[in-house]
Amino acid sequence: MKLGYIKAYVWLACVLVANVIVYTVVTLSRRPLSLQASGRAAFIGGHVRLWQPRDLRGLPLWELLMLSRDQLNKPMLQNTTAQLNLTLPGTCRESFHEASQSLADFSSYPGHLQAFVLSMHCRDYPLLVRPAEEEACPNGTQLLVAVKSQLANFDRRQAIRQTWGQTGQVGDVIVKTLFLLGRQDSGDGHPDLEALLELERQKNRDLLLWDFQDTFYNLSLKDILFLGWLRGHCPSAELIFLGDDDVFLRVDALVAYTGGLNAITRRGLFTGHVIRDAAPIHDCKHKYYIPKSFYQGTYPPYVGGGGILYSRDVATRLYEASCHLPLFPIDNIYLGICLRELGLVPQNHPGFWTFNMEAEGQEDLCAYKEFILVHHRTSQEIIRLWRSLHDPALAC
């Protein structure tokens, strides 16, 4: 018994001494992090340097912002990004001018990307138009269909309302469609659609409109504003489809698919057409151009354009993850980044057809029966396809 105690004390003493030794070595070998680039030998003043300072000057902006976020939890990194004068403004009233100054090639960025960088710290935009709760989420809605549209695309919204976006019961699931909008101001050369908007709002009560400029590079913002809205609304909606206004969604096929899933799979759902191993396009003429000084490396797996189906559980977690992650200008990739942060991967579903079908495929209506989603359809094509698919003479 006594011997046992002594043994334990000796062990404890050894562990303590070992700790002190490790601490001493680490402290002596450590230098303050500097901005000096260095891949050189690891002997400084006779001590082994256990880690090398990183050259922050060469890092793309997005990665720097990630580092400055990490500073909060990792004291080792303290002051590193502060030395680059990169602090996100605390309010939406200020622009992120420090970024434009620290990016040598900022002036060569396309205008919409400059606008993105200058306001990428701001996510706080009020909801200007919203339906009453019982209209946004009638009768215990279980599937919420959120369509990203733009004010001027009135015809597309109307085509969706008349066809696949009809609100009501599909199978045994209650479905509600909402449209997500931002502003399109006359200052930016848009026609004044205020009166039309008011009419549409009164007639349909299915619009959510936030107070930000509805542009291509603000779509990530739209995604997270919607996720934020979802936290406080429509708790009965277990599943959410988020898509564009030029898709044809077969809600019946979607409901049939989700009905066959077990509870665990449903809860972890984030599915669509998955794209892997993509990398940023550094060609400045491309629609998805991302400058090297903004982001480098590869993209995490993400769900391509058209539409995504996810669960409320995943939506809540995505929202929480997004609060800690700098915005990214391409919406689908941003959601991929948020998923990666959560340690999740998107699941591919072959029924999400986000690229255009072959010309001959378009003629074959039975081929459409296989799909959940088809992308790049005009309003007229959506209505024709709907009619054809509901033609009793159609035999597949």
Which amino acid, residue 355? Answer: F
119 near ligand NAG (CB under 6 A): yes
> To the nearest whole angstrom, how small is the minimum distance from the Cβ of residue 167 to ligand NAG?
5
How many residues of this chain interact with ligand NAG, rule: CB under 6 A? 15
In contact, 181 and 151? CB cutoff 8 Å: yes
116 near ligand NAG (CB under 6 A): yes
Q: Which is nearer to ligand NAG, 96 or 270 (CB)?
A: 96
> To the nearest whole angstrom, how small is the minimum distance from the Cβ of residue 213 to ligand NAG?
4
Pick from 24, 38, 139, 356 the residue near ligand NAG by CB under 6 A: 139
Using CA atoms, how far residue 51 sits from 27, 30, 68, 71, in Å, is 12, 8, 19, 17
> To the nearest whole angstrom, how small is the minimum distance from the Cβ of residue 347 to ligand NAG?
30
62 near ligand NAG (CB under 6 A): no
- C-alpha span between 128 and 183 (Å, rounded): 9
Q: Which is nearer to ligand NAG, 249 or 385 (CB)?
A: 249
Phi-psi region of 391 (alpha: psi -120 to 50; beta: other; left: phi over 0): beta
115 near ligand NAG (CB under 6 A): yes
In contact, 60 and 67? CB cutoff 8 Å: no
- C-alpha span between 355 and 63 (Å, rounded): 31
Which amino acid, residue 224? Answer: I
Q: Which is nearer to ligand NAG, 29 or 204 (CB)?
A: 204
> To the nearest whole angstrom, how small is the minimum distance from the Cβ of residue 184 to ligand NAG?
10
Q: Per-residue b/e over 60-95, b at no fewer than 16 CB within 10 Å? A: bbbbbbbbbbeeeeeeebeebbeebebeebeeeeeb
Of residues 97, 102, 103, the one with CA closest to residue 120: 97
Q: Which range, of 108-116, 196-204, 250-258, 349-357, touches ligand NAG by CB under 6 A?
A: 108-116
> To the nearest whole angstrom, how small is the minimum distance from the Cβ of residue 217 to ligand NAG?
4
Q: Which is nearer to ligand NAG, 115 or 261 (CB)?
A: 115
Phi-psi region of 46 (alpha: psi -120 to 50; beta: other; left: phi over 0): left
In contact, 250 and 326? CB cutoff 8 Å: no
168 near ligand NAG (CB under 6 A): yes
DSSP run (H or E) holding 373: strand 373-374
96 near ligand NAG (CB under 6 A): no
> To the nearest whole angstrom, how small is the minimum distance from the Cβ of residue 320 to ligand NAG?
22
Q: Which is nearer to ligand NAG, 120 or 309 (CB)?
A: 120
Of residues 40, 67, 37, 68, the one with CA closest to residue 53: 37
CA 26 from centre of chain: 40
> To the nearest whole angstrom, how small is the minimum distance from the Cβ of residue 64 to ligand NAG?
11
85 near ligand NAG (CB under 6 A): yes
Q: Which is nearer to ligand NAG, 35 or 396 (CB)?
A: 35
Stretch 286-325: interaction string toward ligand NAG, x if CB under 6 A: ----------------------------------------
> To the nearest whole angstrom, how small is the minimum distance from the Cβ of residue 211 to ligand NAG?
7
What string of DSSP letters covers 84-142?
A: GT----SSTTS--HHHHHH-TTGGGS-HHHHHHHHTTT-----EEE---HHHHSGGG-S
Q: Which is nearer to ligand NAG, 220 or 271 (CB)?
A: 220
How buried is residue 172: exposed, middle or buried, by Cβ count under 10 Å (0-12/13-18/19+)? Answer: exposed
Q: Which is nearer to ligand NAG, 58 or 168 (CB)?
A: 168
Q: Which range, of 14-22, 110-118, 194-202, 235-243, touches ligand NAG by CB under 6 A?
A: 110-118
Stretch 192-221: interaction string toward ligand NAG, x if CB under 6 A: --------------------xx-x-xx---
Residues 256-275 within binding reach of ligand NAG (CB under 6 A): none
167 near ligand NAG (CB under 6 A): yes
Query: Where do contacts with ligand NAG occur on this chain (CB under 6 A)?
Result: 84-85, 112, 115-116, 119, 138-139, 167-168, 212-213, 215, 217-218
